[in-house]
């Protein structure tokens, strides 16, 4: 087996294993130790993805410009350790400064972890091209680490099972720190044991092509005169392909629904059921092994079988069922019935993510074909930029607009009307979006049939 591929699998596993100790508990930790309202926590989680979207292209661009990818990766992992690790001191500080430090630590850790993910993805994409190993066969190790140690963190954080006499959720932070350090040492060890020639070769090979917006923004950093061209191409894409409006809107809606879950699900468990970290860990495990991994493997077949639009409707239906389950079925005496609903994580997120990637690829191919037909002098540059532009559009709709809006309105709804109405609102949004998507598809089919008759 190629040693670089083996290293990347180990890095993905250890990195996501470390995040399994803290990431899903951020809103719970903030609510418990800063005594802030859900509205304020939601606003923080609204700002968070936008800070990350700025940090990723900036630091990845610096790494690309100075050929310091390994150093930037190590520094970003350490910065993530600094941000989330400092959570451990918050329970011991005066109440009036806890919230401000919590906000600073969250933004620092989340933005640096975003840089780690982007740099790792760029390395993996290059290795996939070089070795013909599938991306999924490497990336799945991240899901394995997340699911297994998400479950383990639930046990570690439970004071009854493991009485460490530490503040609530701090044991999970210690677990995160241990695995974070192991991950960083693994990367340093690889650098020290490889020959300088191989290290230089690897650094030369790595090109920043993030699945999100990294490449687009890198182009803006390195080639400032192209900025207007990229913006113009975004508008041109929507003008040429009106269906992009449909898919962009659905992606934003699914981003909102995803934010409802990512930002407030574990807070919902704490407020409704209590500080049952074992249940939280079991839910994380089921989401991963019973949902995401299964659908990451099956998603391409499903999309090919029923099409992108109907796959998106299946994802929306999964969100609807899940949120109605939260609203009407889950109670404290029946707490573990909650686990059943987490199998919907597969169609809700795994299938959607495949659809989002498929949409970006489909319209990028259309745009690239037009560029080829035009036979311009800058064909290759424009084609690369077009692929990155389409990736950036879909990722921006999901990570920027969707997650941001969902976190902002979610906190307000919970504080004013409670969790039951919050989940009902999510279900209604999902049904409305599915109905909209269904009607648009019928209209498109009717229009296409009329054109065929003419």
> What average pLDDT score do residues 262-288 get?
92
- 382-412 pLDDT, tens digit per residue, is 555 566 667 677 877 888 789 889 999 999 9
- 305-329 pLDDT, tens digit per residue, is 988 889 999 999 999 999 999 999 8
Mean pLDDT of all residues belonging to the chain: 82
**Least confident segment among 140-149, 156-165, 346-355, 445-454:** 445-454
Q: Give the residue extent of every domain in the chain.
A: 1-211, 223-454
The reported pLDDT for the residue numbered 192 is 39
> What average pLDDT score do residues 249-256 get?
94
Q: Same topology for domains 1-211 and 223-454, yes or no?
A: yes
Q: Given phi > 0 = left and psi -120 to 50 = alpha, else beta, which region is 330?
A: beta
Could you tell me which of 145, 362, 401, 388 has the C-alpha nearest to residue 258? 401
Rounded Cα distance between 261 and 363, Å, is 29
Distances (CA, A) of 101 to 83, 95, 170, 315, 381: 10, 11, 16, 37, 43
Other Cβ atoms closer than 10 A to 43:
18
Read off the pTM.
0.82
The reported pLDDT for the residue numbered 384 is 55
CATH number of 223-454: 1.20.1250.20
The size of the chain, in residues, is 454
> What average pLDDT score do residues 223-230 get?
45
The vertex-277 CA angle with 44 and 406, nearest 5°, equals 30
Domain 1-211 has CATH 1.20.1250.20: yes
Angle (deg, nearest 10), helices 26-34 and 95-131: 170
């Amino acid at each position: 087996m190629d040693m670089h591929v083996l290293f990347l699998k180990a890095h993905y596993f250890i990195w996501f294993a470390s995040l399994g100790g803290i990431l899903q508990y951020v809103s719970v930790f903030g609510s418990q130790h800063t005594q802030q309202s859900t509205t304020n926590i939601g606003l923080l989680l609204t700002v968070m993805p936008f800070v990350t979207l700025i940090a990723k292209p900036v630091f990845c661009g610096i790494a690309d410009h100075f050929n310091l990818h390994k150093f930037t990766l190590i520094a970003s992992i350490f910065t993530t350790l600094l941000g989330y690790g400092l959570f451990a001191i918050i329970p011991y500080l005066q109440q009036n400064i806890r919230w401000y430090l919590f906000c600073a630590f969250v933004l620092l850790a989340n933005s640096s972890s975003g840089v780690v993910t982007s740099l790792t993805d760029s390395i993996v994409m290059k290795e996939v091209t070089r070795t013909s190993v599938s991306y999924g066969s490497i990336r799945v190790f991240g899901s394995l680490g997340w699911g297994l140690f998400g479950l383990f963190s639930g046990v570690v954080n439970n004071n009854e099972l493991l009485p460490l006499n530490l503040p609530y959720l701090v044991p999970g932070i210690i677990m995160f720190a241990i695995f974070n350090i192991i991950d960083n040492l693994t990367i340093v060890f690889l650098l020290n044991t490889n020959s300088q020639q191989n290290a230089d070769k690897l650094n030369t090979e790595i090109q920043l092509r993030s699945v999100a917006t990294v490449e687009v923004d890198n182009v803006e950093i390195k080639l400032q005169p192209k900025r207007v061209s990229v913006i113009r191409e975004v508008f041109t894409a929507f003008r040429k392909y009106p269906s992009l409006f449909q898919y962009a809107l659905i992606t934003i809606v699914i981003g909102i629904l995803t934010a409802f879950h990512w930002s407030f699900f574990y807070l919902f468990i704490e407020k409704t059921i209590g500080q049952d970290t074992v249940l939280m860990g079991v839910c994380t495990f089921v989401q991963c092994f019973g949902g995401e991994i299964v659908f990451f493997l099956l998603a391409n077949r499903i999309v090919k079988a029923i099409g992108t639009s109907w796959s998106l409707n299946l994802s929306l239906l999964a969100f609807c069922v899940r949120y109605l389950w939260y609203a009407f079925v889950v109670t404290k005496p029946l707490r573990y019935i909650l686990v059943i609903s987490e199998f919907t994580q597969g169609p809700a997120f795994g299938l959607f993510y495949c659809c989002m990637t498929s949409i970006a690829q489909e319209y990028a191919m259309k745009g690239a074909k037009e560029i080829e037909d035009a036979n311009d002098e800058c064909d290759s540059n424009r084609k690369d930029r077009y692929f990155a532009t389409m990736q950036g559009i879909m990722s921006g709709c999901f990570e920027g607009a969707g997650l941001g809006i969902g976190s902002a309105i979610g906190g307000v709804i919970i504080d004013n009307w409670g969790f039951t109405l919050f989940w009902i609102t999510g279900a209604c949004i999902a049904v409305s979006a599915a109905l909209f998507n269904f009607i648009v598809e019928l209209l498109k089919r009717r229009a296409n049939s009329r054109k065929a008759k003419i």
